[in-house]
Structure 1
């Protein structure tokens, strides 16, 4: 499995998984190396170490282009930004009601369905990533990396 070393890093997986109750596209813990982000804006306190992992925010990963899974042949390393964290504080009355109905099994998802009773931490804006392939040609992939994250749903 590919990992990249970045200053002030924490361990998270490069492979995506969907543990019960998590949103699609959020990583489980423990496999790759990711840099912390989340610098406090002027006048704001930086969240505690434990709070950073729970709130929806952008994380950074230095990764080889060929490991992106898009079929590009390049040894360049690029910065991939993704959204991570929970959105339980953003729950609405809809989410609370849906959770209750699911627990009571009044709503039973089909075998290929997944019903989430909480908002998901997802990109709300994307940015392009450019790199050079092995033929010395510049490639640009639009909407590859997250530029902003928010609780959606």
Structure 2
């Protein structure tokens, strides 16, 4: 299904809801990556999966290990907005500009 594949998604947010400390009622289009990635089946993936299932290796129990690819931004874009005091701000690399399965 296309809706479940890794892709660029958008949401309209108030700047003050971004959590970056700016006082602004202005809205911006925030872009992010979402969706799933097909699991690769390389020898590395097969071995890691087996080791994690076995779980009698103490060093593997202590670490957070993710065995599959995840949907992540490949590049970002800056976002500019006007705050409540009528000053312009530009936040670098705030929004995703492209997505891909990484890992």
The verdict on a shared fold, with TM-score over 0.5 as the criterion, is yes
Equivalent in the alignment of 2:87: 137
Equivalent in the alignment of 1:78: 28
Structure 1 gaps of 5+ residues are: 1-50
User: Could you tell me the TM-score, scaled by structure 2's length?
Assistant: 0.88
Provide runs of 4+ in structure 1 moved above 4 Å.
none
Over the residues paired in the alignment, what is the CA RMSD in angstroms? 1.5
- The structure, 1 or 2, with the larger RCO (C-alpha pairs under 8 Å, 6+ apart) is 2
More moved, 52-61 vs 78-87: 52-61
Question: Higher helix share goes to which structure?
Answer: 2
Count of paired positions: 100
Equivalent in the alignment of 1:24: none
User: Could you tell me how far 1:95 is from its partner in structure 2?
Assistant: 2.4
User: Could you tell me the TM-score, scaled by structure 1's length?
Assistant: 0.61
Larger Cα-atom Rg: 2
Query: In the aligned structure 2, how far is the partner of 1:109 from the partner of 1:128?
Result: 40
Question: Higher strand share goes to which structure?
Answer: 2
CA shift digits 1:106-133 (9 cap, x unpaired): 55331xx421010110000100011100
Q: Give the direction of change, closer, same or farther, for the CA distance of 1:54–1:103 in structure 2 (3 Å limit).
A: farther
Q: Helix, strand or coil for the counterpart of 2:61?
A: coil
